[in-house]
A = this chain, B = another copy of it.
Amino acid sequence: MTTLTLGKALNRGLRNALAADDRVVLMGEDIGTLGGVFRITDGLQAEFGRERVVDSPLSEAGLIGTAVGLAYRGFRPVVEIQFDGFIYPGFDQIVAQVAKLHYRSRGAVKVPITIRVPFGGGIGAAEHHSESPEAYFAHTAGLRVVVCSNPADAHVMIQQAIASDDPVLFFEPKRRYHVKGEVDEAASLADAKPMGIATVVAPGDDVTLVTYGALVQTAKDAAVAAAEDGVSLEVIDLRSLAPVDYPTLEASLRRTGRLVIAHEAGQQGGVGAEIAASLTERCFDYLEHAPVRVTGHDIPYPPAKLEQHHLPDLDRILDGVDRVLGRANSLSGVEA
């Protein structure tokens, strides 16, 4: 076991992937000499050369579109999008090409492209630097969407994403890049838990609290706080948003009968909507209360000084728990 930050765990995972398969190439803006604005690719160009770790011209459509061509040629491109809010110029290439090429070619062309996206807020950044665009991709058939939340997962999941023959949108909770954790660098990938499986990060009986990315830690904190209050939260780190690991969620919800879903992205059409709807379909008879969503507001990401009024935090999650338990909460007395 080594103690690594989440960022460094990604760096080591990428390094393993580059070493394991010489068709793996890393591409992105400033990822070479600089090692990326978050230094996730630090040292990799020096080690693997300029044709494996490639500084690209400033164009996201260009990055994704050339990655598609490289996939045609049998490469496994790993593209870094510098910040969440800069993925949209590449949206057409992702949605119309990356997601559809395997289907369109009737399986003849594999598209093992990994698109890494540092995402989410809470870092006091300027506009376009704190977005949570994951729902767009989870709604796009043909893509897999995964999110890591801790160093150990980051290390394994990035390698699994790269090894996957499907295109993977790989979301990294940027505000947790510097948080440390134990990583077993020697562990074999073959034995690792598949990236499509969710993890129960804190067991509990009263409420199932589902989230992903940076909010996993907040949810764990909420479980501790709730426990002091006599409420037992089962916290589940989704890890995969497409497909979602429903068996794990169902098993929990059938026990607790109460579901809270938290994410930073807005509520309307967020990932929480799908999970609430799907779990209501699957577990209706077990539900004691309507699933509760604790999300960012449906607003453009606000200026930094207001972000604490946008992002779900410990208190807002606990308020959601109160709501699902029918205890006094922010909606008490309001017609639901």
B-contacting residues of A (Cβ < 8 Å)? 61, 85, 88-89, 91-92, 95-96, 99-100, 103-104, 127-128, 135-136, 138-139, 141-142, 242, 265-274, 276-278, 280-284, 287, 289-293, 297-300, 336
Contacts and interface: CB of A to CB of B under 8 A. Distances in A.
A273 B277 contact: yes
Contacts of A96: 85, 88, 128
21 contacts: A85-B96, A88-B91, A91-B95, A100-B127, A103-B300, A136-B136, A138-B268, A139-B265, A139-B266, A242-B268, A273-B273, A273-B278, A276-B276, A276-B280, A277-B277, A277-B291, A277-B293, A281-B291, A281-B336, A283-B336, A284-B287
A141 B299 contact: yes
A270 B298 CA distance: 16
Interface centre among A89, A128, A277, A292 (most CB of B within 10 A): A277
Number of copies: 2
A266 B100 CA distance: 14
Contacts of A91: 88, 91-92, 95
Contacts of A103: 299-300
Contact of A277 (B135, B272, B284): B272
A266 B88 CA distance: 21
A268 B139 contact: yes
A139 B88 CA distance: 14
A92 B60 CA distance: 11
Contacts of A100: 127, 300
Given A103-B300, A135-B139, A273-B274, 20 more contacts: A85-B96, A88-B92, A88-B96, A100-B127, A104-B127, A136-B136, A139-B139, A141-B297, A141-B298, A142-B299, A242-B268, A269-B274, A273-B276, A273-B277, A276-B281, A280-B291, A281-B290, A281-B291, A281-B293, A284-B290
Given A139-B268, A300-B142, A282 B88 contact: no
Contacts of A128: 96
A135 B284 CA distance: 25
